[in-house]
Chain A
């Protein structure tokens, strides 16, 4: 049973060696389309975000098969933290500038992050509670 439901489909996916290429192709294609759209609105919304919305809509309206994107998208999104390493190391280049106004920066970031967390969670939570009551 387990062999049929789990092992075999996984094995079949490995046989489909181009699945990663298909995934990357689709993701990059939507990224490109997003960048093109972004150009028309003067970069008001970044291309990657427009690409995300376009990819979602295409999946929703069945223009793109989910299997084509699944593997590549899962690998990329589960490992997003790695992509932040180069910019995070960039902190070192601005260490002096940041240390000059370290208190302002820390206070602003801490207060604002706490506010954002609380406001978003409380608003969403109260919507859900109100619906549950109905």
Chain B
């Protein structure tokens, strides 16, 4: 009877309800810490992950179990990209008259970004699977997954690089842009969103509503540009 109870408890611990509680709870704790300490390295997402990974290791819950049980969150990445269409609509006044410059800027950025990541990885002898997983690192996960799959990369690895790139870009983006003397809010938002998708956008939103919205727009433009460019890079260089 007692053993049976323990077994059931264990099952609850690796179940949907508890794991979702864990995700939201650690994220809230992360938000709390981030607000208290105002230290940009302590992104809520990072804090949450740093708590969850050891927890899973200690309790012996497999990542695949965790992933299965929290699938609803992963699903929400798709609708959240769609919802950016609304954020974009809200900022339409600022977009008017800037369409050509924004498209040009993101196009240049995506070419430079993809070329540099592919060339460096190849120069250091990375295999094709690694290069193909690295190439879409600046776009949001649903897009990165489909690009990586189409070009022979490993989707899970591509997602990992997307997350790393998002954290890194969100971290250094505001500092770097200030350092090189960029004052335009549109340029700041556009650069952060292009380099580090939705994770950068959460940082851009802290800078201001306009930066946030333009950053959200940049996710879409960058996603489309990258999806259009990588098949060609894949055909000729990989």
User: Which residues does A use to contact B, with CB under 8 Å?
Assistant: 24, 27-28, 30-31, 34, 43-49, 51-56, 59-60, 66, 69-70, 72-74, 76-78, 80-94, 97-98, 101, 103-105, 107-125, 127-128
Contacts and interface: CB of A to CB of B under 8 A. Distances in A.
A98 B205 CA distance: 31
Given A49-B220, A98-B157, 15 more contacts: A27-B82, A48-B82, A77-B201, A87-B156, A88-B48, A88-B163, A105-B121, A107-B120, A108-B117, A111-B116, A113-B165, A116-B138, A117-B191, A121-B177, A128-B98
B180 A89 contact: no
A44 B227 contact: yes
B231 A44 contact: yes
Contact of B81 (A51, A81, A84, A103): A51
B160 A87 contact: yes
B195 to A, nearest CB: 4
A46 B227 contact: yes
A37 to B, nearest CB: 12
B113 to A, nearest CB: 4
Nearest to B43: A81
Contacts of A84: 45, 77, 141, 163, 166, 198-199
Given A45-B224, A109-B164, A81 B191 contact: no
Interface residues of B, number: 109
Given A76-B79, A84-B163, A94-B157, A113 B108 contact: no
A54 B85 contact: yes
B156 A49 contact: no
Contacts of A47: 78
- The 7 closest A-B CB pairs, nearest first, are A55-B85, A127-B101, A120-B109, A73-B86, A116-B113, A121-B191, A112-B117
A104 B220 contact: no
B150 interface: yes
A100 B182 CA distance: 37
Nearest to A29: B82
A93 B205 contact: no
B167 to A, nearest CB: 8
Contact of B168 (A103, A113, A115, A120): A113
A59 B80 contact: no
Contacts of B223: 45-46, 49
A32 B200 CA distance: 26
Interface in B184-203: 184, 186-188, 190-192, 194-196, 198-199, 201-202
Nearest to B89: A59
B92 A120 contact: no
